[in-house]
Structure 1
Amino acid sequence: MSGFVIKQGNTFRLAALIRTFDGRPLDLTGCTFTSQLRDVLGNSLADLSVQAVPGRTGIIQVTYDGNTGAWPVGRYRGDLRTVWPDGTVQSSNTFAVTVVAGVTLPATENAA
Structure 2
Amino acid sequence: MFLKLDAMSLLLAISMVGILSFIVSLGLDAIVGEDGFGATGNAVVITAGFFFSMFLMIRFGWNLTDKKFAVACGLVGAFLCLTALMLLKALVKRLGNLNPDRPSA
TM-score, length-scaled by structure 1:
0.28
Answer 1 or 2: which has greater helix percent: 2
Which has the greater radius of gyration?
2
Query: Normalising by structure 2, what TM-score?
Result: 0.29
Between the two structures, name the one with larger relative contact order (CA 8 Å, sep ≥ 6): 1
More strand by share: 1
